Amino acid sequence: METIDIQEVVTRDGLQIEDQFVPTEKKIDLINRLSAAGVNKIEATSFVSPKAIPNLRDAEDVMLGIDRKPGVTYTTLIPNVKGAERAAACKVDEVNLVVSASESHNRKNVRKTVEESFSGFSDIASFLTGTGISINGSLATSFGCPFEGSVSEDRILGLINKYLELGADGITLADTTGMATPKQVFELCSKVLHRWPDLPLTLHFHNTRGMGLANVIEGIRAGVTRFDASLGGLGGCPFAPGATGNICTEDLVHMLTFMDYHVRTDLDQLISTANYLETILGHEVPGQVIKAGKITDLHPM
């Protein structure tokens, strides 16, 4: 029975684009519930400028306020050495670096060339040496760029190599705006894992065009065992108003559980936490299983 790791991003990728600031104690509560549900990793927050992302201005309070459950990896997104210092002060287990695979998206997102981003990552890696904090390298727009279109597999392989050269412990290929097709996922991941068979490789999918869980299936078939997902399917894409966001954690865990994969995360606890998320936000979330119930929830005639 193959084991699949569930990596939760709702309090970072989900909450950062909400219209409202979710109070710190609610964020802490959410993360604690997700830890209790048994997710493998939680991207708790982002140590970016509070001006850039006001919704995550409470990053320190969140990281220091949560219960750190043994066996769960607590990671945070960081953009620079300043972020690394803040993350280290909070004793995160891992930092997550992000650069876009496409130049235009990186320029739009962080106003840097890809080369400039990697130069900054070198400084971060130097700063973190000896701290025991792991580094995960994320490649946004790995499956396509909303400005440039397709991104070549060779470019992705080259950028993974750059991350590994500066000491990254794991890599995430992110489908930032939901452009990946199942065929592309299988082909790219097969090549990556052929070249680096032991690489801790995560896939980060958005369900923007409905292909999210299909992409997971083909990622698993290529050998990937780690997936990012967002509780309730929260998240989204600025280019696709009304479209769904990140793939939904409870929908993902529901599918994998009933496909007999070993998933450490408890589905019922996830579903109740997704319901709690709706009460926090005051609006519906895109997840399907919290509306439809599990396939084992039978109905009276």
Q: Active-site positions?
A: 237
Using rule CB under 8 A, residue 112 touches a copy of itself: no
CB-count burial class (<10 Å; 0-12, 13-18, 19+) for 230: buried
Map tokens 């412990």 to a residue: 169
**What mask of x and - would describe binding to a copy of itself in positions 199 to 238, judged by CB under 8 A?**
--------xxxxxxxx-xxx------------------x-
Q: Site for a copy of itself (CB under 8 A): which residue of 16, 80, 244, 273?
A: 244
Q: Shortest Cβ distance from residue 243 to a copy of itself (Å)?
A: 4
User: Total residues at the site for a copy of itself (CB under 8 A)?
Assistant: 53
Contacts of 294-297 spanning 24+ positions with Cβ under 8 A = 294/254, 294/258, 294/267, 295/254, 295/258, 296/258
Shortest approach of a copy of itself to residue 112 CB, angstroms? Answer: 14
DSSP E strand stretches across 210-259 = 226-229
Is the Cβ of residue 88 or residue 243 nearer to a copy of itself in the bound state? 243
Task: Show the site string, 41-70: x = touches a copy of itself by CB under 8 A, - = not.
Answer: ------------------------------
Sequence-separated (6 or more) residues with CB below 8 Å from residue 83: 46, 47, 48, 76, 77, 95, 124
**Does residue 251 bind a copy of itself (CB under 8 A)?**
yes
**What is the smallest separation between the CB atom of 278 and a copy of itself, expressed in angstroms?**
11
Chosen residue from 68, 82, 107, 264 binding a copy of itself by CB under 8 A: 107
| Nearest approach, Cβ of residue 288 and a copy of itself (Å) | 4
**Does 23 help bind a copy of itself (rule: CB under 8 A)?**
no
User: Cβ closer to a copy of itself: 51 or 111?
Assistant: 111
| Crossing angle of helices 103-110 and 114-128, rounded to 10° | 60
Nearest alpha-carbon partner for 96 in 150, 148, 26, 169: 169
Query: Which window, 21-29, 58-66, 134-142, 243-251, contacts a copy of itself (CB under 8 A)?
Result: 243-251
CB of 184 to a copy of itself, least distance (A): 8
Which residue lies nearer to a copy of itself by CB, 38 or 286? Answer: 286
Does residue 245 belong to the site contacting a copy of itself (CB under 8 A)?
Answer: no
Q: Are 135 and 94 in contact (CB under 8 A)?
A: yes
Within positions 175 to 204, which residues make up the interface with a copy of itself, using CB under 8 A? 178-179, 181-184
**Distance between CA atoms of residues 202 and 189, nearest Å:** 10
Of 169, 175, 177, nearest to 216 (Cα)? 175
Amino acid in the structure at residue 288: Q
**Closest listed residue to residue 128, CA positions, set 187, 85, 99:** 85
Measured CA to CA, the distance from residue 3 to residue 259 in angstroms comes to: 11
The nearer residue to a copy of itself, 38 or 178, going by C-beta atoms, is: 178
Compute the Cα dihedral for 168, 195, 72, 42 and give only its sign. Answer: positive
Kindly identify the residues of this chain, within the stretch 257-286, that bind a copy of itself according to CB under 8 A: 258-260, 284
Residue ranges in contact with a copy of itself by CB under 8 A: 104, 107-108, 144, 146-149, 178-179, 181-184, 207-214, 216-218, 237, 239-244, 248, 251, 254-255, 258-260, 284, 287-289, 291-296, 298-301
